[in-house]
Structure 1
Amino acid sequence: MRDWLTAREIAEEQLPELPKTESAIIRLAKREGWNAHPCYVRDRAAVGGGLEYNYRLLPTLAQVTYVQRHMVVGLETATPEASTEIVAPATVSNRAAMERDARLAVLGAFDRFARGMRLHQRACMQIFCDRYGMGMIKVDDWVKDLVPSVSKRSLARWRSLKTNGADHALAIDRSKARAGTGVLDTANDGLVRKFLLALVAKAPQLAASEVRTQCRYEFGDTLEVVSKGLRKTIELPPIRTFQHFLKALKETHAVELTKLTNPDKFRSTMALSGVGTLRHITEPNALWQIDASPVDALCTDGRHSIYCCIDIATRRSIWYVSRTPRASAVALLMRKAILAMGSPDAVKTDNGSDFVSRDIKRLFASVAIEAVVSDAYSPEQKGHVERMIKTFQHKFAVLLPGYVGHSVADRKAIEDRKSFAARLGEDDAETFGVSLSGAELQEAVDRWAETMYAHEPHAGLGGRTPFQVAASSTTPIRTIDERALDVLLMPAVGNDGRRTVTKFGIRIDHRHYLAASILPGTEVFVRRDPNDMGRVHAFSLDGGTYLGEALCPELAGVHPETWVKAQKELRAEIIRDKTAEIRKGMREINKGPALHERALAVAARDIPNVVALPKREERHQTPQIAAALDVGTSRKRVEPVATDAQREIVLADLAPQRAFENVTPIRSDPTPAQRFRNALDIEQRHTAGEHVDAEQLIWFGSYRESAEYKAQRAMWEDFGDQAPGLRT
């Protein structure tokens, strides 16, 4: 509806209480001073100039007629905050949102209708409500359906809610307002509803009649409900009520029931899934994802599996076709991908046996690739490769001869293209038109990845193609020599590849592989050459040192006797080289003292400069010891008693020898008295803290335990320092 009109346009409207010609309207404007209201008159911007008047300058009846003639109640008459598109908040149903928008449209129309009216507010509301009810105000169909009529009281209440900012109170869905108040919702204090919800989750295939039967078994033929504050007993509702209730229950709890009854559908359509979680991966080869899936097409040599490797940053993909899923296929895929794109920093896989085998873990560790394994049954954690395989299956596999469909239903539809009579006696190859072999399929997949997918714009790459992203990257690529990669891909023997070399060589599968350069007792890690069963390669246990190759004469096609003889000669030469230096050292040792002399000399150096004092002794006696002493004697043993003459002789021996000049001693060996005097001197000097030679201390220690020392000591203790030869 236009708010500004020229004098001609006002005259053309033929409104009541106004002249019918343009000149008469101009004279009326001058006479009533319309031009004196700057807010309601303005210069006409169009060609020809003149003035334009706001319709609110017109008399009341003329305004009402003009508004009801041109104003249409709809979203355009709602408040500026009202959207031109019906959008329901998360907590408001679509029906309630439409009710709110219709009421806001009516309020907006009333505000425009009443603005400028020279009438009381209640009079304006009465006129608007009357004309709205009589259809004299144009209304959009959807508004008329939701608000067929309006009263002054309702209009006043709506305006009050809008003024107080409570627009949400205008959103009323009468059907939702009654939700949760039905018989089956409230019966038995809500226990019936809980039981039915659990029953639907356990057996979603049950019909309403079966559900009612189960409810009868659980609660009987009557239910308890509360109506208007009073508890009463009612009969079990009919099947129709159960049908409506189950329909509403499944809609209300759609997510929970899908999680319990169809986990795969919940994971693919309802489970929370992050978008753009790998957008920080911008460098090529920072992260790869690999996965496998059966190809949705048959080959002449059977159905194959397709392994895919995708670079997250560039979306480049490498494919490998394998007859059966196994770890060797993953290894060959990695070889192909590394040679084509370089070595990655990390590779993410699922926890399938072919991806987490020992050989694959060993390969990743050998080339310094971090292996990241997703959680079990969580394909969303490697969504890029999952999406890549789906793209292949839906865009390229459908073009292949031998396509069998993505599901059982698809396969059935393809089979049904021929009548049963036409298929009678045919095999799958004839039915599905199989013509490609596995090798031909590999070639076709590689061509599709290089010529089609690599040059298609990708939304995740900002509209660029994988080829463009890879070509524009300046990140250095880590390359691996093909020969080294082939060796690292050789399978390890046995479960872990560990073997211990014996005198017979390396035993593998009841055969012995000889390697003269590897000495017996060495633990090695062995890889088997897949192209030569008679040859293996030995490494250190950590794989960081190559020790040499070993051959099995029978499998290598070599004469066993000749090969063993050559290996013995080589081994003998190696042993001679290794023992030459050792033999030289042995000869140097033989030139010196004997080993026991060396040991005794070291022991003597370790003896501390301390002499132990004599310990107090007690004679131990038992009847058996006494009896043993009597053996060989016919009379009782008598202790010898020294006579005076004998004492004289001993004292004479202990007396110091006089020095006679020009006299040559008859003998040079020291006497017992001299040895005792020497022992006393050593003991006294040691007790006084004077230095005593180690050899003298050793002699004193052994002499002190002799019978001679003990006899001399007894005599010295009897006579003391007065004994001849001991005076100081």
Structure 2
Amino acid sequence: MKRLTPDKEWWTASELAASGLPDVPGTRQGVDDVAARSDWRAHPKLCRRRQGRGGGWEYHWRLLPVRAQAALLKAAAPLAPEEPGRMDRGEAWAWFDGLPEKVKAEARARLTVLQRVEAMTAPMGRYLAVITVAEAETAEGRPVSPRTIWGWSSMIEGVDPADYLPYLAPRHRAAPAKRRRAECSREFLDWLKADYLRLGEPSFASCWNRVVKLCESRGLATLTLKTAQRWMDENVPRVTQVFARQGERGLSKCFPPQIRDRSMLTAMEAVNADCHKIDVFVQWPGIEKPVRPQIVAFQDLFSGKVLSWRVDLDPNKVAVMSAFGELIETWGIPRHCLFDNGHEFANKWLTGGTPTRFRFKVREDDPLGVLPMMGIQVHWATPAHGQAKPIERGFRDFADHIALHPAFAGAYVGNRPDAKPEDYGSRAVPLDTFLTVLAESIRDHNARLGRLSPNCKGRSFDQTFADSYERAPIRKATAEQHRLWLMGQEVRKLHATHGQLTLHDNKYHADWMSEYAGQKVVARFDPEDLHAGLYLYSLQGEFLGEAPCREKVGFFDLVGARLHARQKAQRRRIEKQLLAAHRPVSVTELAAELAAMPPTLPDQLEAKVVQIVPMQARRPLIDRQVPQPDTSRDAELRVLQVDFAAPRPAVEPEETDITRFWRVIDIESRSEAGEPISAEDAEFYQRMQRHPVYRAQRAMFDRDGAVAIG
């Protein structure tokens, strides 16, 4: 580090003349002349009488010209090496950028003072400039001493003037803060994080109270509430806290949403659809209580215009297909459709066969939905994320301009359960009135000027859509494609023999269906008119034909029976003609041809090699010894010895329920008298205690005595 003062500070006129400093005369008389013209002796602190022999005057180096002062400082030996801890310019500016505004203002004030010193250094020298600026600053109400200014100068010594500002900032901000840290146990911190960083968002105070109580019971050190809160905020990032306490939905709110540009689209290139439950009570025909109907709407992504809509009690695929059909018929076929993953959109009628549909069970014989068959690419929005579908912004207008329409006064239910109006439930709007107001409001929604989206630029949705629609290539539907969106679809198997198809208790058949008997087909139909017939397709989407609905005929309807018989005879006649065309030779003719063929006898084969088998003696079939019976005691066994004098064995009488009961009573009597009881009697006694007949007899005996038993 360079010194701020030269090695020699006081100089005589002779020494200055001999020094060879720039802008200093080379003679003593010349130096005296400069001192007289500049009035050096008018500064008592910068000149003094020389002590010693000869006397004379000595002048301080600050009175010398600027170039002479610079030469003296340059020649001065450095006091110490360069500060090892000084930040480089990149670190200094980064550190300065993070300082509070008050500290930055102090640095700018110091820089202003030093700039004033630099401006006055040329005419009067740096020493006098420092003193003059210090006095001026003090007079202006900003007291500062020359020593302080010299200290500021030392802070920027060797620094490029463009980088003065960060080095002039108060240095106490650069030193690490010295804080006294409170001590606590690791268990306290771990338990506090476990309780606080969880779903449910418990308050920090309640978590702290529980953990403190637990630690006190175990003699562990804790922190105060405020200290623990600061520790949590310093050691656990805010985003981590939000994720732990609010889950993925809270985490997504910590970052800005994605900005998607729709300016590269054109009208009818892409649409999105969703359902909205209107905040109005409507009196629906056939339902006693008022309901809040659902609106299914399709919106153009380029302009924001609502292109088609339907109203129903709840979201369903029939309403979606109907609104989609109106969209196709009126405006054309879009190239992209954005849906959420609701059942009403992710159904097999509309989006069957679409990858990543993730709704309903996927089977190999599932038919293609209407959108894949028409070449429309389906995109699935993030579930339960309103920002993913632009139509949600339009529904916000519906909640304001439609639900709060004067015609619906008294029927408005509020947009939240806790925002119900005072007249909640006082009125229900008739369905006809609701549909009329809704249609008019949607037209006003599309025609309203002043839209601020990048594509509208102050125009209405109608104007923006019309301007692009006139220039964009629009795909129109063919007559065959009309059958796709106007109908639902079901996979059915044709009858194994005649090919008839049964759908919702209706029978459908055409003559050509017999060719596909037993096969699975896709039946497309109008859900609102099942008697209009079916259009049948293969599972691959190929159109097979139309099948009319067969009308039921009365049991004794002669006209219907004759018509059926006539059709049956006609089909039989046609099939005979077709069979004759396909079978020109009858089976009788074929049999005659087979009978006329000469018989074919097989050729007699002769063996070329013959082996002679030698004769062998015939052996018996059973070659073993036959056992012979023992007849030695036959005479003895022929004599029957009978002893008629022997007594006949006595027949024991059969036991009855009564005898068994009295046997139990006898066993009890002998037991009470102390007589021995055999094991057989003891087992009999125990068995009878569980017998239901004995238990009933015992109850009668205890109540009425022996007379009840007999």
Please report the TM-score for the alignment, with normalisation by the length of structure 1: 0.56
Question: How far apart, CA to CA, are the structure 1 residues paired with 2:615 and 2:382?
Answer: 83
- 1:655-697, CA deviations, whole angstroms, 9 ceiling, x for partnerless residues? xxxxxxxxxxxxxxxxxxxxxxxxxxxxxxxxxxxxxxxxxxx
Q: Which residue pairs with 2:227 in the alignment?
A: 241
Aligned partners of 1:449 and 1:335: how far apart in 2? 22
> Does the C-alpha gap of structure 1 residues 167 and 103 become closer, same or farther in structure 2, counting only changes over 3 Å?
closer
Distance 1:624 1:335 in 2: 100
After superposition, the Cα gap between the structure-2 partners of 1:275 and 1:504, relative to the gap in structure 1 and judged at 3 Å, is closer
> Which residue number in structure 2 is paired with residue 479 of structure 1?
476
Q: What is the 5 A alignment of 1:139-538?
A: 152-154=150-152, 156-157=154-155, 163=161, 165=163, 183=181, 187-188=184-185, 193=189, 195-202=191-198, 204-208=201-205, 210-217=207-214, 236-242=222-228, 248=233, 253-263=237-247, 266=250, 269-279=253-263, 281-301=264-284, 302-318=291-307, 319-361=309-351, 362-380=369-387, 382-399=388-405, 401=408, 402-411=411-420, 414-415=421-422, 428-430=425-427, 437-452=433-448, 456-473=451-468, 474-481=471-478, 484-485=481-482, 488-493=485-490, 496-500=491-495, 502-503=497-498, 505-519=500-514, 521=517, 523=519, 524-538=521-535
- Map 1:696-707; keep pairs closer than 5 Å: none
What is the aligned partner in structure 1 of residue 141 from structure 2? 136
Structure 1 pair 123–370 and aligned structure 2 pair: CA distance change class (3 A):
same
The share of aligned pairs that are identical, in percent, is: 14
Deviations 1:18-57 (A, max 9, x none): xxxxxxxxxxxxxx9xxxxxxxxxxxxxxxxxxxxxxxxx
Aligned 8 A contact 1:517 1:571 in 2: no
Q: Which amino acid in 2 is paired with 1:324? A: D
**CA distance in 1 between partners of 2:320 and 2:599 (Å):** 64
Q: Which runs of 5 or more structure 2 residues have no equivalent in the other structure?
A: 1-37, 39-92, 285-290, 352-368, 622-710
Q: Which amino acid in the other structure matches residue 416 of structure 2?
A: S
> How many residue pairs align between the two structures?
494
Q: Is the CA contact 1:321–1:441 (under 8 Å) kept in the aligned structure 2?
A: no
Residue 204 to residue 548, structure 1, CA distance change in 2 (3 Å): closer
CA distance in 1, matches of 2:303, 2:226: 58
TM-superposed CA distance for 1:358, in Å, is 0.7
Provide the C-alpha distance between the structure 2 equivalents of 1:617 and 1:219, rounded to a whole number of angstroms.
113
Q: Is the 8 A contact 1:539 1:546 kept in 2?
A: yes
* CA 1:210–1:488: 2 relative to 1, 3 Å: closer
* Alpha-carbon separation, structure 1, partners of 2:170 and 2:395: 48
Once the 2 structures are TM-superposed, how far is the Cα of residue 376 of structure 1 from its aligned partner? 4.2
Partner of 1:552: 550
Instruction: Give the corresponding residue for 1:40.
Output: none
What are the Cα deviations for residues 282-307 of structure 1, in whole angstroms up to 9, with x where unaligned? 23333222222322333333202222
Q: Distance in 2 between matches of 1:555 and 1:151?
A: 116
Structure 1 pair 356–209 and aligned structure 2 pair: CA distance change class (3 A) = closer
Report what 1:114 is aligned to.
Answer: 118
Residue 238 and residue 538 in structure 1: after superposition, are their counterparts in 2 closer, same or farther (change >3 A)? closer
Q: SS in structure 1 opposite 2:278?
A: strand
- CA distance, structure 1, for counterparts of residue 171 and residue 397 of structure 2: 44
1:384 CA displacement: 2.0
Checking the alignment, whether the CA contact within 8 Å between 2:270 and 2:302 is kept in structure 1 is yes
Task: Give how far 1:526 is off.
Answer: 1.9
Moved more, 357-366 or 498-507: 498-507
Is 2:317–2:344's contact at 8 Å kept on the other side of the alignment? yes
- Whether contact under 8 Å (1:282, 1:313) holds in the other structure is yes
Q: Displacement of 1:261 after TM fit?
A: 2.6
Q: Is the 8 A contact 1:457 1:465 kept in 2?
A: no
- Label 1:292 to 1:531 Cα distance change in 2 as closer, same or farther (>3 A): closer
- In the superposition, relative to structure 1, how do residues 168 and 577 fare at CA in structure 2: closer, same or farther (>3 Å)? farther
Which residue identity does 2:568 align to in structure 1?
K
CA contact (8 A) 2:196 2:204 kept: no
Q: Structure 2 counterpart of 1:443, which letter? A: A
Partners in 2 of 1:158 and 1:394 — Cα distance? 64
Aligned partners of 2:268 and 2:332 also within 8 Å: yes
Whole-Å separation in 1 of the counterparts to 2:273 and 2:132: 74
Cα distance, 1:342 vs. partner?
Answer: 0.9
The answer to whether structure 1 residue 565 and structure 2 residue 565 are counterparts is yes
Distance in structure 2 (CA, Å) of the matches to 1:212 and 1:173: 41
1:621 and 1:512 map into 2 onto residues whose CA distance is: 82
For residues 426-480 of structure 1, give each alpha carbon's deviation from its aligned partner in whole angstroms, at most 9, with x where no partner exists.
x6143x9899754235413432333227x73523445554334433332221112
Alpha-carbon contact 1:322-1:329 (below 8 Å) kept: yes
Q: Deviation at 1:582? A: 0.5
**Contact (CA 8 Å) 1:490, 1:530: kept in 2 or not?**
yes
Distance 1:109 1:445, change over 3 A: farther
- Cα distance change on mapping 1:333 and 1:165 into 2, 3 Å: farther
CA distance in structure 1 between the partners assigned to 2:480 and 2:522 by the alignment: 19
Partner of 2:580: 580
Any idea what SS the aligned residue of 2:393 has?
A: helix
Q: Would the aligned equivalents of 1:514 and 1:567 in 2 still touch at CA under 8 Å?
A: no
Please name the residue that 2:76 is paired with: none
Residues 139-193 of structure 1: CA distance to partner in whole angstroms, max 9, x if unpaired?
xxxxx9xxxx976435642676775849667778989987896746x7457x755
What RMSD, in angstroms, separates the aligned Cα atoms of the two structures? 5.1
Paired residues of 1:258 and 1:265 also in contact (CA < 8 A)? no
* Distance of 1:207 and 1:216 partners within structure 2: 14
Question: Displacement of 1:213 after TM fit?
Answer: 3.3
CA–CA distance in 1 between the matches of 2:578 and 2:425? Answer: 68
Structure 1 stretch displaced more, 90-99 or 460-469: 90-99
- One-letter amino acid of the counterpart of residue 374, structure 2: V
| C-alpha spacing 1:540/1:309, structure 2 compared with 1 (3 Å) | closer
Map of 1:720 onto structure 2: none
Q: What residue ranges of structure 1 are gaps of 5+ in the alignment?
A: 1-31, 33-88, 139-143, 224-234, 416-422, 605-611, 629-728
2:242 and 2:574 map into 1 onto residues whose CA distance is: 73
SS at match of 2:298: strand
Aligned to 2:79: none
Distance 1:288 1:106 in 2: 63
- Cα distance change, pair 592–398 in 1 and its aligned pair in 2 (3 A): same
How far off is 1:107 after superposition? 1.2
Q: Does the 8 Å contact 1:310/1:317 carry over to 2?
A: yes
Which of 89, 94, 100 is residue 96 of structure 1 equivalent to? 100
Contact 1:553–1:560 (8 Å) recurs in 2: no
C-alpha distance 516-593 of structure 1, shift in aligned 2 (>3 A): same
The residue matched to 1:205 in structure 2 has which SS?
Answer: coil
2:321 alignment partner, SS class: helix
| Residues 51-98 of structure 1: CA deviation (Å, up to 9, x unaligned) | xxxxxxxxxxxxxxxxxxxxxxxxxxxxxxxxxxxxxx9998876355
Q: Would the alpha carbon gap of residues 480 and 435 (structure 1) be closer, same or farther in structure 2, given more than 3 Å must change?
A: closer
Q: Distance in 2 between matches of 1:215 and 1:596?
A: 113
SS of equivalent to 1:393: helix
Quote how far apart the aligned CAs of 1:347 are: 0.9
The answer as to whether partners of 1:527 and 1:537 remain within 8 angstroms in 2 is yes
Higher alpha-carbon deviation: 301-310 or 517-526: 517-526
- Which moves more between the two structures, 202-211 or 618-627? 618-627
Alignment of 1:38-53 (within 5 A): none
Are the structure 2 counterparts of residues 112 and 321 from structure 1 closer, same or farther at C-alpha, using a change threshold of 3 Å? farther
Cα deviation per residue 1:207-245 (whole Å; 9 max; x = unaligned)? 52641431452587776xxxxxxxxxxx53333434555
